[in-house]
Structure 1
Amino acid sequence: MVRFEAAGKIFAGSGARPAFTALEDIDYTVPRGAIAGIIGRSGAGKSTLIRLVNGLETPTSGKVFVDGVDVAALDAAGLRALRREVGMIFQHFNLLSSRTAFENVALPLEIAGISSAAIRGKVLPLLDLVGLSDKAERYPAELSGGQKQRVGIARALATDPKLLLSDEATSALDPETTQSILELLRRINADLGLTVLLITHEMEVVKTVASDVAVIDGGRIVERGRTFDVFTRPQHETTRSLLAAASMGAKLPDWISSDLKPSPAAGDRALVRLIFFGKTAFQPLTARLVAEIGPDVNILAGAIDEIAGEPFGSLVVSYPADAETLERAARFYARTGLATEVLGYGV
């Protein structure tokens, strides 16, 4: 549905302000019908990236295609047609305070010249879809943050778009409301076959709904893939840092992790994270590890989670770091396919 080909964006300088490279050499594809996430820290280039998709910004290099159409090649009429097929929801809702929920959703249809009867026949089902059929005549000031965002989603769907862009749409919401909005997006994606592109700095958002994810840092995509693969086996330091900040998986207390060494000394113990997913998720492998290397295995931390609908768990264990025990443990991991990460060595 969306394809970036070596896309870049440089903002020209003015006066004492130098030119700024916001995006550089972006190659990325959003599969049709997917919920895809682009995640990164503030200032990484996420919002600029999404503005290339609906033509609010033009790439200074490369191309951006939406459903096979080169966005930058469109004239004004072509851009208007494209934007009717690309809905957008915003962090701060962007509702008109002087219009009711019904009137906010109706706005793009009014602009398109749709008749009043047809607008009513379109808007009321959309308000019902987002769970606000009883709030049609309420003004934004009378609605909660989650309700405002639902109005924004209904408005974005009014023109029957192929693609829905979400720019930090849950960042202003509390965790419970965020989950309800994400569930709504997941339902819209499933029921309407709508492609969704999420821009966010929240790992929890991507983990909950996105099937694919790209990590952006300094204007470049540094890692991409299935959400489960990226979250369980991060390759880039930026991804690892974002996941660590989000407390993904079992985490050691600082007083333990701060004393770890990269190599074992006599009498040390190995601290190892065991990662359970796929065929290992439901097997009693910890008990089998004890049977393999002996009873001197301590469990230091543990967590269980779900990533993109797949189970994921991790345990941090310690055991003696003598050569024989380490070799027996390594053979066990190779035989069972259990994924592991050596965190270090300590007393």
Structure 2
Amino acid sequence: MVAFEGVTKHFGGANGQPAFTALGGIDYAVPKGAITGIIGRSGAGKSTLIRLVNGLELPTSGKVLVDGVDVGALDEAGLRTLRRSVGMIFQHFNLLSSRTVYDNVALPLEIAGIDRKTIDARVRPLIDLVGLSDKAGRYPAELSGGQKQRVGIARALATEPKLLLSDEATSALDPETTQSILELLKTINRDLDLTVLLITHEMEVVKTIASEVAVIDKGLIVESGRTFDVFTRPRHETTQALLSASIGAKLPEWIRSDLKAEPAAGDRALVRLIFFGETAFQPLTARLVAEIGPDVNILAGAIDEIAGEPFGSLVVSYPADPVTLERANRFYQQTGLATEVLGYGA
């Protein structure tokens, strides 16, 4: 649905001043019909990337293709047509305070010159879809944050777009409301066959609804793929840092701070056992104990779901003597159990 081909974006650079590079060369494809998440730290280039999709910004070089159309090659009339096929929802809702829920949803249709009967036939079902049929005559000041975002989503769908952009759409919402908005986006993606491209710094959002994910850092895509694969086996240090606080079992700081890279006499190995795919439903912890002996401590554990797939992790410790380590490693190789050595400690 969206293809970035060698895209760069520079700001400034006039009067002999060096330009700021927001995007340094992006090559990435957003699959049609999927929910794709773009994650990264503040200032990584997420917002610039998404603003290129609907022509709010134009690339300095390279191409942005939306359903095969080169956004940078469009004139004003072409951009208006493009924007009707690309809906956008915002972090702070961007509703007009003087217009009711109905009138806010109807606004893009009015701007497009559509007649009142057609507007009514399209707006009322959208208000029902987002669960606000009893709020059609209310004003934004009378709504909660979650209700305002639902109005924003209905408005974004009014022109019957084929692509929906979400710019930190849940960042201003509490966790319970965030979950309800994510469920709504999943419903829209499924029932309307709508491609969704969202940017966020919230790992929980991507983990919950995105089937594909790309990690952006300093204006470059540093890692991408299926959400489950990237989240369970992050390769780039930026991805690892972003996910460290939200995925898998956590160790207390007082344990982490004492870990060493190499074992000393009498130390124990601290190892994260990672369960997914075929290993998610096997009694491998009990089999590990049978293999290396009963001196295995479980220090932390977590069960999770990533993009609809089960994922679990346990942090265990056992003696770091050569015989035990060799038996444990052989067991991991035989069973295919994924592991991560966190370090060694007394």
TM-score over 0.5 (shorter chain): yes
* 2:305 counterpart SS class: strand
Q: Distance in 2 between matches of 1:37 and 1:308?
A: 11
Q: Find the counterpart in structure 1 of residue 81 from structure 2.
A: 81
Q: Distance in 2 between matches of 1:170 and 1:9?
A: 26
CA deviations over 1:264-322 (Å, ceiling 9, x no partner): 11111110000000101111100000001000000000011100000000000000111
Q: Distance in 1 between matches of 2:260 and 2:316?
A: 16
- The answer to whether structure 1 residue 315 and structure 2 residue 314 are counterparts is yes
Q: Find the counterpart in structure 2 of residue 253 from structure 1.
A: 252
Q: Distance in 1 between matches of 2:311 and 2:244?
A: 16
- The answer to whether structure 1 residue 301 and structure 2 residue 266 are counterparts is no
Letter in 2 for 1:82: L
Aligned CA-pair RMSD = 1.0
CA deviations over 1:107-149 (Å, ceiling 9, x no partner): 0111111111111111000000000011000000000000000
Q: Find the counterpart in structure 2 of residue 184 from structure 1.
A: 184
Q: Distance in 1 between matches of 2:17 and 2:141?
A: 39
Letter in 2 for 1:311: P
Q: Distance in 2 between matches of 1:16 and 1:25?
A: 23
Residue 16 of structure 1: CA displacement?
8.9
Q: Distance in 2 between matches of 1:339 and 1:7?
A: 36
Residue 18 of structure 1: CA displacement?
4.0
Which stretch shifts more, 230-239 or 10-19? Answer: 10-19
Letter in 2 for 1:288: R
Letter in 1 for 2:135: K
Q: Find the counterpart in structure 2 of residue 195 from structure 1.
A: 195
* 1:172 counterpart SS class: coil
With structure 2 as the length reference, what TM-score do the two structures score?
A: 0.99
Q: Find the counterpart in structure 2 of residue 290 from structure 1.
A: 289
- The answer to whether structure 1 residue 331 and structure 2 residue 299 are counterparts is no
Letter in 2 for 1:176: E
Letter in 1 for 2:253: D
Q: Which runs of 4+ in 1 moved over 3 A?
A: 13-18
Q: Find the counterpart in structure 2 of residue 225 from structure 1.
A: 225
Going from structure 1 to structure 2, the CA distance change for 1:173 and 1:265 (only over 3 Å counts) comes to same
Q: Distance in 2 between matches of 1:95 and 1:4?
A: 30
* 1:153 counterpart SS class: helix
The 5-angstrom pairing of residues 93-172 of structure 1 reads 93-172=93-172
Q: Find the counterpart in structure 1 of residue 30 from structure 2.
A: 30
Q: Distance in 1 between matches of 2:265 and 2:42?
A: 45
Going from structure 1 to structure 2, the CA distance change for 1:250 and 1:14 (only over 3 Å counts) comes to same
How many residue pairs match? The answer is 346
CA deviations over 1:238-277 (Å, ceiling 9, x no partner): 111111133x110111111111111111111110000000
Q: Distance in 1 between matches of 2:192 and 2:333?
A: 44
Q: Find the counterpart in structure 2 of residue 174 from structure 1.
A: 174
Q: Distance in 1 between matches of 2:15 and 2:176?
A: 46
Letter in 1 for 2:67: D
Letter in 1 for 2:58: T
* 2:43 counterpart SS class: coil
Q: Find the counterpart in structure 2 of residue 345 from structure 1.
A: 344
- The answer to whether structure 1 residue 2 and structure 2 residue 2 are counterparts is yes
Residue 61 of structure 1: CA displacement?
1.1
Letter in 2 for 1:315: L
Q: Find the counterpart in structure 2 of residue 50 from structure 1.
A: 50
Letter in 1 for 2:283: P
* Ranges in structure 2 where 5+ consecutive residues have no aligned partner: none
Q: Find the counterpart in structure 2 of residue 62 from structure 1.
A: 62
Residue 13 of structure 1: CA displacement?
3.3
* 1:92 counterpart SS class: coil
Q: Distance in 1 between matches of 2:199 and 2:17?
A: 27
Q: Find the counterpart in structure 2 of residue 12 from structure 1.
A: 12
Going from structure 1 to structure 2, the CA distance change for 1:136 and 1:17 (only over 3 Å counts) comes to farther
* 1:281 counterpart SS class: helix
* Ranges in structure 1 where 5+ consecutive residues have no aligned partner: none
Letter in 2 for 1:269: R
Going from structure 1 to structure 2, the CA distance change for 1:180 and 1:16 (only over 3 Å counts) comes to farther
With structure 1 as the length reference, what TM-score do the two structures score?
A: 0.98
Q: Distance in 2 between matches of 1:168 and 1:15?
A: 34
Letter in 2 for 1:232: T
* 1:42 counterpart SS class: coil
Q: Distance in 1 between matches of 2:203 and 2:61?
A: 29
Residue 15 of structure 1: CA displacement?
6.2
CA deviations over 1:157-178 (Å, ceiling 9, x no partner): 0000000000000000000000
Q: Distance in 2 between matches of 1:14 and 1:174?
A: 42
Q: Distance in 2 between matches of 1:305 and 1:80?
A: 43
Q: Distance in 2 between matches of 1:31 and 1:15?
A: 41
